[in-house]
Amino acid sequence: MNGMQPEIGRLNAPAKPGGLGAAIFVALFGLPFAAFGLCALFFGISKIAGGSYKDGGMIALFGLIFSSVGFLFVAGSIWGWKKLNRDAAMQARFPDRPWMLRRDWAEGKIKPTATAPIAAYLVWSFMVLAASIPAICEIPKAFEERDPGILLVLIFPVVAGGLWIYTFVQWRARHRFGDCFFEPAQTPTPLGGVLEGTILTGKSIKLEHDLYLKLSCIRRSVSGCGKERHVTETPLWEDEKIYRADVALPEPEPGHSGIPVHFKLPANQPECFSHGEESVFWRLEAKTKMRGIGFHVAFDVPVFKIAGAAIEPDDSDPTTPLQAPMEDVRRDGHSRIRVSDGPGGREFYFPPARNVGTCISVTIFALAFSGIAVLTYEKHAPILFPIAFGCFGLLLTFFTLNAWLKSSRVTINSSGLDATNHWLFLRRSQHFDIGDIERFDLSIGTTSGNRAFWNIKLIKRVGDVTLANDIADRAEAAWLVQQMTKALNRLENQGQVFTVR
């Protein structure tokens, strides 16, 4: 991102103690479920005792589910009320240290994100399956009556099966890698400083493939409500390191592995904050392919603007001996981008449709919106609908044609740099003298979910120009920047780390 980010808040807005009214409302909402469920449960048990096993079992099962949901609402209201008051007390105690509100941050032993107990997934899967048992029992009768609509209930056992599979994967990962934590060297890490520490695994890990480490600053926003609720995550900044598969990870203690972490943080990005429907968080990820279950863990790390923090220059990176050379990373990635030496100099060719998956996705969306625009027009829907869908369809059609047809070629020689873009028979060329060039750099271009695509920019003495866009792999984009810099004989340090603007 270019320029400084605005000051938009801290980790949380000041919490107000209390919340008793909301807790009582949620508890009262859950009590009818609990009461109805208990009545149904006892009624079902009485029918079972009277010999009506099938009907009694169904009623008792429904009663158990309803009462469980009701008691969960009551327990959740009590837990939420206590947490709200506890957070308010902590904020009053640490008004200028919001990272103290999270216990794992305060203790300096950060837990992975999105780690729900495995038992919770099992409980939900059995509840989903139990809720669909009565309808499943009616499937043979529905076949006799030729009523295929009853087959819709099969979505419930499918969901339950998916939860079982996910539970098994999580259990296997927990069994293979143990409990993982990230221990930062300091809490919090100041913007402009260095995120340093160690990812500790519960069991020893021997790498089979390259290990990818990524640090991201992500803005999350929530729009809509209910079924229309939509969460958008946009990367603002990223950095990535790749450790070679042949390195032996340190062992801080027997039977455990340690993954060293060292990332230089920019000073012009926002700190962690959460307010209303908008938040910013910094996420550290580590993943590698392995036989069976792969290793993948993520942590939300505390990054804040600290007044008076001593920012020491990051002259050395202790993880450099572990990192794979950029040439090896790019060769293993089977890139379609071609780099060659021609009569005109060093050439970098970015072919069209180099990200086939993205091209297909954009094409599908363009066809869908265009088709909806035509359909709404033919069905005489209000004119606003075909106009709106048609505009989106035209915009997506432009992106589709650009993704499938645009190619770029960058040629560097002693006279300067030539950049040429092709769209079928259309061509646009630019020439830049060596004296006007300061450096090459990376920037985040388009995003898909929380995945970023990278642009290569030519930074001139006045302004900048995008030479190539939508490079899917950051390591390859950094390698290309390095090769372009070498071609201009402007590379001052072979181990230079290029910043993301």
Residue 14 located in a structural domain: no
Which residue's entry shows tokens 């060596």? Answer: 434
* Whole-Å CA distances, 444 to 250, 350, 490: 33, 17, 23
Model confidence, pTM: 0.67
Backbone region of residue 197 per phi and psi (left: phi > 0; alpha: psi in -120 to 50; beta: other values): left
- What averages of pLDDT result for each successive group of 10 residues across the chain (501 residues)? 38 52 78 84 82 75 77 81 75 78 88 70 66 65 65 66 77 85 92 93 90 91 66 85 90 90 92 85 93 89 82 75 75 74 87 87 90 87 88 91 92 88 90 88 79 89 89 86 81 39 41
Measured at the CA of 122, the angle between CA 115 and CA 72, to 5 degrees, comes to 80
Q: How many CB atoms lie within 10 A of CB 67?
A: 20
Domain boundary pick from 173, 199, 219? 173
Phi, psi of 19 (to 5 degrees): 80, 15
CA distance 374 to 393: 10
Residue 247 located in a structural domain: yes
Q: How many domains does the chain have?
A: 3
Task: Note the pLDDT of residue 48.
Answer: 79
Q: Are residues 216 and 132 in the same domain?
A: no
Residue 67 located in a structural domain: yes
Q: At what angle do helices 118-137 and 155-177 cross, to 10 degrees?
A: 160
Q: Are residues 190 and 151 in the same domain?
A: no
Q: Are residues 133 and 229 in the same domain?
A: no
Residue 197 located in a structural domain: yes
Q: At what angle do helices 53-93 and 20-49 cross, to 10 degrees?
A: 160
Residue 205 located in a structural domain: yes
Bridge partners for 295 per DSSP: 288
Q: Are residues 127 and 251 in the same domain?
A: no
Q: How many CB atoms lie within 10 A of CB 435?
A: 8
Q: What b-and-e string marks burial along 290-319, b requiring 16 or more CB atoms within 10 Å of the CB?
A: beebebebbbbbbbbbbeeeeeeeeeebeb
Q: How far apart are the first and last CA of the chain?
A: 5
What does the chain come to in residues?
501
Q: Are residues 266 and 288 in the same domain?
A: yes
Dihedral angle sign, alpha carbons of residues 77, 79, 80, 84: positive
Domain boundary pick from 263, 286, 306? 306
Domain boundary pick from 306, 325, 346? 306
Phi, psi of 140 (to 5 degrees): -60, -40
Phi, psi of 493 (to 5 degrees): -145, 125
Phi, psi of 150 (to 5 degrees): -65, -20
Q: Are residues 209 and 165 in the same domain?
A: no
Residue 62 located in a structural domain: yes
Q: What is the CATH number of the domain that holds 470?
A: 2.30.29
Name the strand (E) or helix (H) holding 129: helix 118-137
Domain that includes residue 420, residue range: 338-487
CA distance 34 to 474: 53
Q: Are residues 448 and 470 in the same domain?
A: yes
Residue 324 located in a structural domain: no
**Is the distance from CB of 239 to CB of 217 less than 8 angstroms?**
no
Q: What is the CATH number of the domain that holds 292?
A: 2.60.40.640
Q: Are residues 193 and 245 in the same domain?
A: yes
Q: Are residues 195 and 274 in the same domain?
A: yes
Residue 501 located in a structural domain: no
Q: Are residues 168 and 197 in the same domain?
A: no
Q: How many CB atoms lie within 10 A of CB 6?
A: 7
Q: Are residues 388 and 411 in the same domain?
A: yes
Task: Note the pLDDT of residue 172.
Answer: 82
Q: Are residues 151 and 226 in the same domain?
A: no
